[in-house]
């Protein structure tokens, strides 16, 4: 199961974020500014955010494994078509549909792992799945950047990423075991049950706090990765597409910390590990604003380490607090998570256009500090006694 879910993470996130390192090329080719170019990423993550909850109804009715298989196959087919669409509007529309398909994987995977894994091992299992998402995000970016420089065509590059995603999707379909603990919801009343479970989570202050953390942390993280390529292509750095793609090797640090964080929760508690991850994120953000390239690179690595540590703990925490309604709980987490990616990642472009990287970094830091100041005290009071 863990190997299959690792492949699922690769298949999903290789395709979702592959445009990120080549956004300057997309902007130049299509004649749009940075914020508009970033819509290639935001359209996909918006589709994922809006369709995460509908997929939970499908998963509860027909099963999590069939839902995930359908989702990853549809997304992979779209991924092979999208790069060759000439009209930018239609291109964004199909990216939205691809994100909607990927929601069936991203919105159900953690619930499937939690349901099929012993509670003592759920944190580690979730961390390994998140590690797969980091490898997927990394591979998509590492392939897209050099292929764009080699071929001079970002469309060829994105197609190459989709081929890799298709291979991972096939591995997932072959390896994923059937669910052993799944009981399908009856057709009559299934929709009402889904709505009631969603409403229950939205009335729970602890769950709302986790959703807020998902929104702000992912928003800041994606904003940095969306626009760092614009910063590094400009003077004084003047980095090539391949060199910029290699920056995304920082994702390997996220692979390590997402797994390590799952182990640390058992020793330190979810609250402390989450707080530490946020602090490391803020330190990394501060370093990216400095001029020397070495500090910028160090900042990106620290930002990535802190983000994936906090995210892997928060997503696993959500599944545990959600109880029997974990499919809806983890899907709501993903709704806010990808809304942060879509909305904050797009808004960050206006800050970059207005004030360059210093203003973009300040925007991200204020967002993380303000959101954490609201969410963490509520989590400490409402559920900290169970996880800290």
Residue 190 to residue 196: CA distance in whole angstroms: 10
Cα three-residue angle 260-226-336, rounded to 5 degrees = 65
Q: Which DSSP state fits 292?
A: S
Q: Specify whether the CB–CB gap between 52 and 65 falls below 8 A.
A: no
Architecture of domain 2-178+200-382: Up-down Bundle (1.20)
Residue 186: per-residue pLDDT: 59
Q: Is the pLDDT score of 64 beyond 80?
A: yes
Q: State the chain's mean pLDDT as an integer.
A: 86
Q: Is the pLDDT score of 314 beyond 60?
A: yes
More confident residue, 380 or 301: 301
Express each pLDDT in 195-243 by its tens digit. 888 888 898 898 999 999 999 999 999 999 989 888 898 889 988 888 8
Residue 341 to residue 38: CA distance in whole angstroms: 11
Q: Is the pLDDT score of 165 beyond 70?
A: yes
Question: Taking residues 313-321, what's their average pLDDT?
Answer: 84
Cα three-residue angle 4-6-127, rounded to 5 degrees = 125
Residue 179: per-residue pLDDT: 67
Question: Taking residues 377-381, what's their average pLDDT?
Answer: 84
Query: Taking the CB of residue 258, how many other CB atoms lie within 10 A of it?
Result: 30
Express each pLDDT in 93-105 by its tens digit. 999 999 999 888 8
């Amino acid at each position: 199961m863990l190997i299959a879910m690792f492949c699922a993470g690769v298949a999903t996130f290789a395709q979702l974020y592959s445009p990120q390192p080549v956004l300057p090329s997309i902007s130049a080719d299509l004649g749009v500014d940075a914020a508009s170019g970033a819509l290639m990423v935001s359209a996909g993550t918006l589709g994922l955010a809006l369709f995460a909850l509908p997929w939970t109804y499908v998963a509860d009715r027909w099963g999590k494994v069939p839902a995930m298989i359908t989702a990853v196959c549809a997304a992979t087919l779209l991924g092979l078509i999208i790069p060759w669409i000439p009209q930018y509007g239609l291109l964004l529309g199909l990216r939205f549909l691809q994100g909607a398909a990927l929601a069936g994987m991203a919105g159900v995977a953690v619930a499937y792992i939690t349901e099929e894994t012993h509670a003592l091992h759920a944190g580690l299992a979730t961390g390994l799945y998140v590690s797969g998402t980091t490898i997927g995000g990394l591979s998509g970016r590492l392939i897209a950047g050099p292929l764009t420089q080699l071929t001079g065509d970002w469309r060829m590059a994105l197609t190459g990423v989709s081929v890799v995603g298709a291979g991972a999707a096939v591995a997932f379909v072959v390896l994923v075991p059937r669910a052993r603990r799944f009981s399908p919801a009856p057709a009559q009343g299934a929709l009402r049950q889904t709505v009631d479970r969603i409403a229950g989570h939205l009335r729970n202050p602890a769950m709302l706090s986790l959703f807020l953390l998902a929104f702000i942390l992912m928003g800041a993280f994606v904003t940095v990765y969306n626009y760092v390529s614009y910063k590094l292509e400009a003077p004084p750095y003047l980095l090539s597409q391949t060199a910029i793609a290699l920056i995304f090797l920082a994702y390997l640090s996220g692979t390590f910390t997402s797994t390590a964080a799952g182990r640390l929760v058992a020793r330190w508690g979810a609250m402390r590990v989450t707080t530490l991850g946020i602090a490391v994120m803020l330190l990394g953000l501060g370093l990216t604003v400095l001029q020397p390239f070495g500090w910028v690179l160090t900042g990106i690595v620290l930002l990535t380490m802190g983000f994936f540590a906090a995210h892997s703990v928060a997503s696993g925490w959500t599944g545990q607090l959600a109880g029997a309604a974990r499919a809806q709980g983890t899907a709501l987490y993903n709704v806010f998570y990808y809304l942060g990616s879509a909305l904050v990642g797009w808004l960050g472009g206006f800050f970059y256009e207005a004030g360059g990287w210093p203003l973009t970094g300040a925007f991200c830091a204020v967002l993380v500090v303000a959101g954490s100041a609201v969410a963490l005290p509520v989590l400490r009071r409402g559920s900290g006694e169970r996880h800290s």
